[in-house]
Amino acid sequence: MKKNSRVFYITYSLLCIISAISFLRLSIWNSKPVIDWDISQYYTYLPATFIYQDFHFEDQDSLWHKAHFKHAVIDGTTLPVKMTYGASICYAPFFLAAHGYALYNDTHSADAFSKPYKIGLLASSLVFALIGLWYLGNWLQFYVSSFIASVVTVALFIGTNLPHYTFVEPMSHAYGFALFSALLYFFYKYRIRQSMSLAIGLGLLAGLLVLLRPTNIVLLLFPLISLFFQRKQHDPLIILKHALIAGLLAILLWVPQFVYWKHMTGHWFFYSYNEEGFFFSDPKLWKGLFSYRKGWFIYSPLLFLALPGFYFLFKKNRTTATASLITLFVGLWITFSWWCWWYGGSFGARALIEYLPFMGLSIASLLAAVAKKGILPSTLTYTLIVVASILSLHFNILYSKGLIHPDSMSKALFWEQITEDNFVKNYPELLDPPDYDKAKRNEGF
């Protein structure tokens, strides 16, 4: 760790304080359902286990049976929950605290839906996001100064869609961001010292990361590629032994999921997304990155600075740059090969939040490089970071108000709406609704 890390500690402490105040002031649990749509699928394992003991949804209680928890039913057979149970592990401490409070407090129902549970889920996403920012900032300090790491950590939090998935929708992404940031930090330490304790920690982090969203397995390319390029620096037998133990621990985390699938379907492995799938020969890369519907760079313009940043990262550390770029490219390809490349009603390219550490390292490399060019390039770059971050925060606010449509934004609507704090008069006419049926067939959408 750099000796001047005090700058980061102070910055991070202020970020935590401001985040806590924002959390309380927003009080999203009073204005949003919170436990809804995809979140309810991630969450369902907890109430099904601890409250209703009902994975088949046979309990006809109105809240439980009619919520979006409900499983798909094909040919009279109830299918398993679509999502794996990784998010429920992250939710669990907060859920149990909320449930305990509800049980011993007559004010709120102990039904998994009342206010304590909403607060618990939202608190969990904030805590994990802050954990992710802690590990991200400390990982960045292995490559750049504490000051630059602090700037990039704050900028990534403000200047992307991460705030929405921290304060408003506790989906899997803030948790994935936290787990991957922690994995990067401990993997860097493992490259320096190959210890069994680090290998165990990496195995558990990797298993939970993939259990959270199976496509997160792509993120594990980074440590694998890094080790490959540095294979001559390590004892292969030690690496192999550690890899086997880490892999075994990762698989053990999946055992309850296998048991659940076996219980529900009679099969140890089950593809729970039914007719939904990937079109790997036709990824919508351009649309996913630059469309007004959901473009990653459009709604997080800060990330444009990562493009030149990768050049400087490559000059300074080819192994890290190569591993980052390969992992990022494969991740983009798979992410935007999904039939619903815009990922339904959501803000920006939410499926790429887990990849933000790579973009952060690239931006940090850019800042480190321009610092050597003089005051003018540095001032210009920092100004761009501030402007881009504020602009993205503005987009977050517009989306929270419903002014940025969850899935039907068009170029015309974008440029009419972004300067307005109320719906423009021709808002409905400017929408560009996606055709979900055509998208499932990959028919030119």
Separation in Å, CA 225 to CA 144, 304, 334, 383: 22, 25, 18, 35
pLDDT beyond 70 at 93: yes
Q: What is the mean pLDDT of residues 282-307?
A: 97
Span between the terminal Cα atoms of the chain, in Å: 48
pLDDT of residue 56: 76
Q: What is the CA radius of gyration of the chain?
A: 22
Residue 122, amino acid? L
Measured over the CA atoms of residue 212, residue 217, residue 222 and residue 227, the dihedral's sign is positive
pLDDT in tens, 175-225: 999 999 999 999 999 999 999 999 999 999 999 999 999 999 999 999 999
pLDDT of residue 72: 65
pLDDT of residue 1: 45
Taking the whole predicted model, whether its pTM rises above 0.75 is answered as: yes
Label residue 63 by pLDDT band (50, 70, 90): low
> CA-CA distance, 95 to 116, in Å (whole number)?
8
Between 331 and 4, the more confident residue is 331
CA angle 285, 289, 291 (to 5 degrees): 100
Label residue 337 by pLDDT band (50, 70, 90): very high
Count Cα neighbours of 440 within 13 Å in the Cβ-side half-sphere.
Answer: 7
Q: What is the mean pLDDT of residues 6-16?
A: 96
Separation in Å, CA 191 to CA 68, 202, 224, 258, 359: 44, 12, 11, 32, 21
pLDDT more than 90, % of the chain: 84
pLDDT of residue 231: 83
pLDDT of residue 62: 57
pLDDT in tens, 237-251: 999 999 999 999 999
Give the start-to-end residue ranges of the domains of the chain.
6-440
Mean pLDDT, all residues of the chain = 93
pLDDT of residue 180: 98
Between 54 and 296, the more confident residue is 296
Q: What is the 3-state secondary structure (H, E, C) of 363-381?
A: HHHHHHHHCCCCHHHHHHH
pLDDT beyond 70 at 4: no
Q: What is the mean pLDDT of residues 396-409?
A: 96
Label residue 230 by pLDDT band (50, 70, 90): confident
Distance of CA 273 to the CA centre of its chain: 20
pLDDT of residue 13: 97
pLDDT of residue 340: 96
pLDDT in tens, 358-389: 999 999 999 999 999 999 999 999 999 999 99
pLDDT beyond 70 at 80: yes
> CA-CA distance, 228 to 55, in Å (whole number)?
43
Label residue 65 by pLDDT band (50, 70, 90): low
pLDDT in tens, 102-140: 999 889 999 999 999 999 999 999 999 999 999 999 999
> CA-CA distance, 78 to 44, in Å (whole number)?
15
Label residue 77 by pLDDT band (50, 70, 90): low
CB neighbourhood size of 5 (10 A): 17
Residue 338, amino acid? W
pLDDT of residue 265: 87
pLDDT of residue 5: 85
Least confident of 168-177, 264-273, 386-395: 264-273
Distance of CA 258 to the CA centre of its chain: 24
Measured over the CA atoms of residue 370, residue 373, residue 374 and residue 376, the dihedral's sign is negative
Q: What is the mean pLDDT of residues 242-263?
A: 95
Q: What is the mean pLDDT of residues 402-423?
A: 96
Q: What is the 3-state secondary structure (H, E, C) of the chain?
A: CCCCCHHHHHHHHHHHHHHHHHHHHHCHHHCCCCCCHHHHHHHCHHHHHHCCCCCCCCCCCHHHHHCCCCCCEECCEECCCCCCCHHHHHHHHHHHHHHHHHHCCCCCCCCCCCHHHHHHHHHHHHHHHHHHHHHHHHHHCCCCCHHHHHHHHHHHHHCCCCCHHHHCCCCCHHHHHHHHHHHHHHHHHHHHCCCHHHHHHHHHHHHHHHHHCHHHHHHHHHHHHHHHHCHHHCCHHHHHHHHHHHHHHHHHHHHHHHHHHHHHHCCCCCCCCCCCCECCCCCCHHHHHHCCCCCHHHHCHHHHHHHHHHHHHHHHCHHHHHHHHHHHHHHHHHHCCECCCCCCCCCCCHHHHHHHHHHHHHHHHHHHHHCCCCHHHHHHHHHHHHHHHHHHHHHHHHHHCCCCCCCCCCHHHHHHHCCCCCCCCCHHHHCCCCCHHHHHCCCCC
pLDDT of residue 443: 87
Label residue 75 by pLDDT band (50, 70, 90): low
pLDDT of residue 235: 86
Q: What is the mean pLDDT of residues 415-431?
A: 95
pLDDT of residue 64: 63
